[in-house]
Structure 1
Amino acid sequence: MKNILSISLLPVLIFFLGCAEKVAEKEDLEVADISYGNWEAPAVNIAKLDFESMPFEKLSDYGFFTGKIREMKPQKGVLTYEPASSLFTDYAHKSRFIWMPEGAAASLKDDIEGSLDFPDQTVLIKNFFYPADFNQPDKDIRMIETRLMIKRNGTWEAFPYIWNNEQTDAKYKVIGAEIPVKWQDEDGKQQLINYIVPNKNQCKSCHNVNEQMVPIGVKAKHLNHSFDYGNGPKNQLVQWQESGILEMDKSPDDIASMVNYADKSKDLNLRAMAYLDINCAHCHRAEGPASTSGLFLNYEERDPLKLGVFKTPVAAGFGAGSFKFAIYPGKADESIMTFRMGTNQVGAAMPEIGRVSVHEEGVQLIKEWINAMEEKKF
């Protein structure tokens, strides 16, 4: 991981500019400075939630978790899930949950990705947090934000919640925020960033298929692997089916499955494609907002030109640096793809939002993949 402690922080001021909000916190904030309250969320009957009144002011108003809400202990009917590969968000750790009304279930679509059709009143819950020490990921956790995606009247909507400094609850914030975050990485180095919580309108820039808001990481190909629910590993699709929230008439063996790009025991090509799929393909696909680029990076793509091999950019401008091709086989350092992944320059960095730091391990993976390509094969 790159040492980003050198990123400077301006004195934090509270102010409103209509489209953004700065959250005032001490510049040298330590996790130990945060007062973890003993407040517990009041009991809420999830089955009687008024979906027409959403979004609620506080995360606790939904009743998805019991006890101290920051501990994320799900209520009955709230199920944990985990995609095979995770979207990079400035090294934030994440936890994810899904809830559906009793008797409701998603259905498996007949497409190559294993897309799911979710019923109305489905709620997806995604938490972003940082342990004080990444070598002790379950200790001294600081919750940063929780994003809800709620389907009602046939349409998905996104609602961002920002956690208070006392770590007792999260409050709905339409306009996002910028929050100083500090942690110690696996190598013992101190890291410091200004974490950006996107505003509500920015959510659709990634969660977008044919101009409709959709979830990203809850297709069968992301879920078709084992996860430990407390009684040993079980395939998530099977768990969903047994829990009554998924209808499918296929075996997991007959359904698409994506690898974990961090698993170095897996095939390099599959790891690279998994990384590009979860980090880039929500835009770079035929149905996505970057479709006009002609660069399609979903896991199933096999056309070298659509993947970027010897492909000149449609309109990258200075975002291409001094390079000619999205992917130059055998020459990762001369490829536009790795250049854009490896910079934080506005207008050149990819993804355009969702990070303020470079994912060093991700860049290295894609470089290794490109360098392993032989020009003569294309």
Structure 2
Amino acid sequence: MLKKYTFLLWGVFSLVMVSCSQDETYEPIDEPDMVSPVVFDINSVPYPKLSDYNFYEGQMSDLEPVYGVLPYTLINTLFTDYAKKKRFIWMPSDAIATYENDNAVLNLGVGTVLIKNFYYDNVLPNLETKILETRLMIHKETGWTFANYVWNEAQTEAVLDLGGSFSAFDWIQDGETKSVNYRIPAGPECQTCHKSGDVSIPIGPKPRNLNLNYPYADGTKNQLDKLVAFGYLENSVPNNIETMVAWNDTSQPLNDRVRSYVDINCAHCHSEDAHCAYRPMRFNFDLSDDPVNMGVCVEPDTDLDQGQTHIVSPSNQVRSMMYYRISSTDEAVRMPLLGRTIVHEEGIQLVYDWIGSLTTECE
């Protein structure tokens, strides 16, 4: 009996030793890298239908991105008639973005696609979500190109349409019924805002406006860190980015909130080599700490015969051209020129309060 147990123990010991010997020489097999299922031929885009890109999985109107299509948001977003927006970015495997400085749009590699969906919740009569359009900016070898896709009523597809159109509807926001004749821009209108000289450029994805946390599916993470970790951005971003405040964050100084508001809503035109470069204001956040660049005590170069004496007349909203223009829906005088057909009530109140807080005496 003892011999039998001894034999069994020796057998087990031998198996363990063989197993250990095998483990020492085992070489793990690398799992294959995940590949984005996005369909993209840089020589064939823009495609005729949004579904041709395969950006989303499942029902397309759910806007659930496939692998490689990363969601992102901005600290401050352009007012577009209260439309909500879902933004995504996709890059091919051979593209990577680089950081230039806090105030410059990330240098996004050729093949990058910026995806922005415009939608409303609680659209009447059925209180449903309605996606109106998806705008793409595609970085080709020759530069950035625009592709606007208009969604059908069934919310099953969006087709390429650069002709421009309107969509009238009512929706409920914060318990109040609102109406809009929403403008889907034509191709040339996109160029009006998205340009530096004659070159098309993105507006929003600047480090100062991206530096915030986002609740990704795999956990909350800083957006810039996420881009680096995913391989979409070189790991050269500093830790001390000059970050904008959210314009609607009432815990922040009023002056900084207004600077953030005009940066995202006005600076794309009121900058060097931009559409309104001939006007004296410079609304970029890194320049607007100078009151002159904000238009304070600056005489307007256009007389609208409405009693405005300055772009911003301290403590006097009625005499301030800025306040007059952002309060108007007249296409001939409203600011911004494009992107809205109704007034931004909260933005108007912000500017009203700011002008009222100024005490400078104009000469």
Distance 1:328 1:296 in 2: 17
Q: Distance in 2 between matches of 1:259 and 1:181?
A: 33
**Aligned to 2:118, which of 124, 128, 136?**
128
| Conservation of the 8 A alpha-carbon contact between 2:51 and 2:158 | yes
Indicate the residue corresponding to 2:150 in structure 1.
162
1:222 matched to 2:198? The reply is: no
TM-score normalised to the size of structure 1? 0.82
Which residue of 2 is the match for residue 283 of structure 1?
269
For residues 153 and 230 of structure 1, what CA distance do their matches in structure 2 show? Answer: 32
User: Relative to structure 1, is the Cα distance of residues 59 and 294 closer, same or farther in structure 2, using a 3 angstrom cutoff?
Assistant: same
Residues 8-27 of structure 1 show CA distances to partners (whole Å, capped at 9, x for unaligned) of xxxxxxxxxxxxxxxxxxxx
**Counterparts of 1:120 and 1:195 in 2: how far apart (Å)?**
32
> Please, which of 139, 144, 161 is the counterpart of residue 173 of structure 1?
161
Runs of 4+ in 1 over 6 A off after TM superposition: none
Aligned to 2:306: 321
Mapping 1:297-308, distance limit 5 Å: 297-301=283-287, 302-308=289-295
Q: Give the unaligned 5+ runs of structure 2.
A: 1-35
Following the alignment from structure 1 to structure 2, what is the Cα–Cα distance between the partners of residues 114 and 54?
A: 26
Offset at 1:233? 2.9
Match of 1:236 among 223, 231, 241: 223
Give CA deviations for 1:72-124 in whole Å, capped at 9, x if unaligned.
Answer: 00010000010100100000010000000014210001x35043111111000
- Counterpart contact for 1:103–1:244, Cα < 8 Å: no
Alpha-carbon distance in structure 1 between the residues aligned to 2:249 and 2:300? 31
User: Per-residue deviation at 1:166?
Assistant: 0.5
Question: 1 CA distance for matches of 2:213 and 2:359?
Answer: 34
The 1:76/1:164 distance shift into structure 2, 3 A limit, reads same
Paired letter, 1:173: D
Structure 1 residue identity aligned to 2:83: A
Whole-Å separation in 1 of the counterparts to 2:168 and 2:270:
30
Amino acid corresponding to residue 117 of structure 1 in structure 2:
N
Distance 1:225 1:370 in 2: 29
Number of paired residues? 325
Mark the structure with the bigger radius of gyration: 2
Q: Shift of the alpha carbon at 1:202? A: 0.7
Greater relative contact order (CA < 8 Å, ≥ 6 in sequence): 1
Distance between the aligned counterparts of 1:325 and 1:102, measured in 2?
51
5+ residue gaps, structure 1: 1-43
- Summarize the Cα distance change of 1:112–1:307 in structure 2 as closer, same or farther, 3 Å threshold: same
Residue 146 in structure 1 maps to residue 134 in structure 2: yes
Correspondence 1:365 to 2:350? yes
State whether residues 133 and 185 of structure 1, in contact with CA within 8 Å, keep that contact through their aligned partners in structure 2.
no
User: Is the contact made by 1:332 and 1:368 (CA closer than 8 Å) also made in structure 2?
Assistant: no
Percent of counterpart pairs with the same letter? Answer: 36
**What's the RMSD between the two structures over aligned residues?**
1.8
For 2:253 and 2:296, the matched residues in 1 are separated by 19
Write out aligned runs for 1:163-202 (5 A).
163-186=151-174, 188-202=175-189
Instruction: Show the counterpart of 2:198.
Output: 211
